[in-house]
Amino acid sequence: MIHKVIKKYYFEVLCLLPLVIFLLFLTLIPIINVVCLSFQAPVPLGQKVSFSFINYQELFSQKAFREALLNTLIIAGVSLILEVGLGLVLALIFSRTSGVLRIFRPVFILPLAIPTTVVGVTMGYLFSHSGWLNRILTDTGLIRSPVFWMSGGLKSLMMVSLADTWKVTPLVMLILLAGLQSIDRSLYKAARIDGATTLYIFRRITLPLLMPSLTAAVIIRGIDAFRIFALPLILMGQNLKVIGTYAYLEYVEFNNPYTSAASSVILLGMILAAVLIYIRAIGKKGMLVT
């Protein structure tokens, strides 16, 4: 029975095989291990392992972790909105321009070329107390005294979100651009001939046809926004907690692989839930339209 299926679909199977082998053996197994680890009570090597929720209890009892949860949600939300918004605007503009403005396109991709560590340091130059952002704001008279971006709390969350947005908007722009390219121009022409306004065209033609790319962008970036780790660590160290840095520090600094695993699993759960909610919300049409 199985080999009849394979025979019929041999093309598909062959296409999928490398990917499946690669991902299955290399990632799925470690992930399952991490999940198992998170449900084990910490015991010295050699002793029998037992199923327990103690790591999760431990995490949720720590104020720092609950703070990290909230921070992660806020940063992810703000970053996503900014990235997708800006990326969409840029993609729309670039898809409809020609000649001169085209030159700007590679320039907008540059932030992606800068390694995250350098982005962190540069953002440090911008957001420090005597940094460029404060200078520009005070020189133009927008604020009276410099802002403490790095003092923790909402301002620092904004700072990290902005830094992440800066680096990643080009990515969103590229994905949406690719999606916009595959929309047939004759549809626009036909709609204009029928007298449709730009807004109508956007809502009824562009947006629905762009949905697959939009979903791709939101999911790809959304997942990474939740997992954010390098920028908060570089900019704020242990002063701004997000789950990504929490898992990292638990493992690398405090030698606690169990709580680190539990944090990772919690993050995994959060992201999975968010993705499923999103998919539910946009319905069948939005996902991967034919």
Site for other proteins in 17-76 (CB under 8 A): 18-20, 22-23, 26-31, 33-34, 42, 44
What is the closest distance, in whole angstroms, from the C-beta atom of residue 28 to other proteins in the complex? Answer: 7
What's CA 16's distance to the chain center, in Å? 26
137: contact with other proteins by CB under 8 A: no
User: Which of 70, 136 has the CB closer to other proteins?
Assistant: 136
Footprint (CB under 8 A) of other proteins, residues 201-230: 209, 212-213, 215-216, 219-220, 223, 226-227, 229-230
- Tell the burial category of 142 from Cβ atoms under 10 Å away from its Cβ (0-12, 13-18, 19+): exposed
How many Cβ atoms are within 10 Å of 86's Cβ, its own excluded?
17
What is the closest distance, in whole angstroms, from the C-beta atom of residue 70 to other proteins in the complex? Answer: 17
237: contact with other proteins by CB under 8 A: yes
Structure tokens that stand for 174 in this block: 């590229």
Footprint (CB under 8 A) of other proteins, residues 104-133: 104-119, 121-126, 128-130, 132
What is the closest distance, in whole angstroms, from the C-beta atom of residue 203 to other proteins in the complex? Answer: 18
How many Cβ atoms are within 10 Å of 154's Cβ, its own excluded?
9
User: Which of 53, 152 has the CB closer to other proteins?
Assistant: 152
| Binding-residue pattern over the window 87 to 106 for other proteins, x denoting contact by CB under 8 A | --xx--x-xxx---xx-xxx
Footprint (CB under 8 A) of other proteins, residues 255-274: 255-256, 260-261, 263-264, 267-268, 271-272
78: contact with other proteins by CB under 8 A: no
What is the closest distance, in whole angstroms, from the C-beta atom of residue 255 to other proteins in the complex? Answer: 4
185: contact with other proteins by CB under 8 A: yes
177: contact with other proteins by CB under 8 A: yes
